[in-house]
Amino acid sequence: MIDRFLQSAEVSRQKLQLVGITAMFIASKYEEIYPPDLRDFVYVTDKAYTKAQILQMEGNILKALNFNVTVSSSYLFLQRYAKLLNMGEKAYMMARYLLELSLVEYGFLKYSPSNIAASAAYLAAKIFKMKTTWNGLVAECSKYSETDVRSCAKKLCELITKGKTSSLDAVKRKFTHKNFYEVG
């Protein structure tokens, strides 16, 4: 939501926290059954912004996004492709790891979320030597041939190598835990 808003609006550095907290406010109202109260968001910013400022920014963000809060994410596409490939939990976690590595890489902006997800599923299937790395059903549902996903999959593969020397290691640390099958 923040990225989409910043594509259409110029925001000063001093207002970035306001944009971030407001995006979280909007997302919480969309995702949660019982979202936090507006005063909680004011408190989190150490009262750097008032309720009125957050509400004003909420209107600005929603207008800029044409009230379209929901977008298809690579994570949702990955869930679908993993099912179609009958992917095991460990391979699925590897694909999620690849997706999260791609989130902070500027070079992946040229790929659609569905392509990144398809490529992550494909590469994870290859890494875990699954019988089926790509099939007709996935190709039909994703609209990508195996050839279409190879370019992005190659870039994802480079991220794994780069991840070993990157200073941005939060994703790697996250996926080294047992909860994530230690794929990082």
Q: What is the pLDDT of residues 118-155, one digit of tens each?
A: 999 999 999 999 988 888 889 999 999 999 999 999 99
CB 4 within 8 A of CB 65: yes
Q: Which domain holds residue 141?
A: 74-180
Q: pTM for this one? A: 0.74
Q: Which of 150, 157, 8, 171 lies closest to 96 in space, CA to CA?
A: 171
The set of residues, in sequence order, having a beta carbon less than 8 Å from that of 154 and lying 6+ positions away, is none
Residue pLDDT, tens place only, 16-60: 999 999 999 999 999 999 999 999 999 999 999 999 999 999 999
69 part of a folded domain: no
Categorize the per-residue pLDDT at 184 as very low, low, confident or very high, splitting at 50, 70 and 90: confident
Looking at the fold, whether 164 and 138 belong to one and the same domain comes out as yes
Question: Is residue 110, in this structure, part of any structural domain at all?
Answer: yes
pLDDT at 14: 93
